[in-house]
A and B are shown apart, each in its own frame.
Chain A
Amino acid sequence: MMPDLGKYADAVLGSYLASFVLMAVLVGLSLWRGARVRRALAEVEARTQMEMRAGEGKVDG
């Protein structure tokens, strides 16, 4: 049940809203950048490994 915030309801709810928005933006951006970098690294690592295998094939061949 919602507590009675009286005449200060705007200040209290505004504080919680502002804090939650700032925290959500921080967490969201951290997760988004983390996923983007992880994906890009996986692609480059896969490409590097393929090139290394191709290089080994040439030497063997």
Chain B
Amino acid sequence: MSLWEYANPQKFMTLSRRVLPVVTALTVICLVTGLTWGFFGTPNDYKQGSTVKIIYLHVPAAMMAINAWVMMLVASLVWLVRRHHVSALAARAAAPVGLTFTLIALATGALWGQPMWGTWWAWDPRLTSFLILALFYLGYIALWQAVDDPDTAADLTGVLCIVGSVFALLSRYAVNFWNQGLHQGASLSLDKQENVSDVFWFPLLVCIAGFVLLFVTLVLLRTRTEIRSRRLAALLARERMG
């Protein structure tokens, strides 16, 4: 059995129908457990006070904002190379989810930054590349809407996705290339000195799992809608032709 079989819309619909309830249940369990544990069950940080509780939303959202773009890049490359429609539709389905995670990361970052840095916003390398990533998400969604022919739209958005990947990677590694700026380094690191304390780390891991599962759930759900929408358009076109 090959992975490419799931590029068949019917096989994808059958598999996703079975998987979706399980992933949805796991998403709810992880998000409720992680956020409740983080908000109610962890102490305030000795430096940052209660603002440390924002980490349970900010870090998973920022990670998934970048990972969503990477998933869209892989799906777009599959479309451009192998012309599998499901992959193009999955990339389209993921874009609003990635945009929402980017907006959550920007909003929670601003709300966290104000009391810690004394400003809502700074033209720091990581913040700036994240803002550009949000603009790329908007451009990607707008381009899908603007082009009538779905295959042409998939081609053009695929190219845009490759270009935007530079900013997705920059938003992750910007602090390594340029001066540190205001934003701190990685919260999750293999380096014990750099990593957050265990008391924050374990609930954060559960929240990250919740955000990953939320992304998978929404992309499956939205890809199913895109496949149905494509079939609907085909049937309506056939009706019009008589």
Contacts and interface: CB of A to CB of B under 8 A. Distances in A.
Given A19-B57, A30-B221, A8 B115 contact: yes
B108 interface: yes
Interface string B54-94: 10011001000000000000000000000000000000000
B3 interface: no
A1 B40 contact: yes
- Judged by DSSP, the binding face of A is helix
A38 B232 CA distance: 9
A48 B104 contact: no
Interface stretch (B130-138, B139-147, B193-201, B223-231): B223-231
Contacts of A26: 96-97, 100, 218
B50 A6 contact: yes
Contacts of A16: 35, 39, 57
A18 B111 contact: yes
A49 to B, nearest CB: 11
A15 B107 contact: yes
A59 interface: no
A30 B215 CA distance: 12
Contact of B104 (A7, A19, A29, A41): A19
Interface residues of A, number: 33
B108 A4 contact: no
A34 B224 contact: yes
A15 B57 contact: yes
B242 to A, nearest CB: 10
Nearest to A27: B218
B111 A14 contact: yes
B14 to A, nearest CB: 16
Contacts of B35: 16
18 contacts: A5-B50, A6-B49, A8-B50, A8-B115, A11-B112, A11-B115, A16-B57, A18-B104, A18-B107, A19-B107, A22-B100, A27-B218, A29-B96, A31-B221, A34-B222, A37-B225, A37-B232, A44-B232
* Top 6 A-B pairs, shortest CB-CB distance: A5-B50, A15-B108, A34-B225, A26-B100, A15-B54, A41-B232
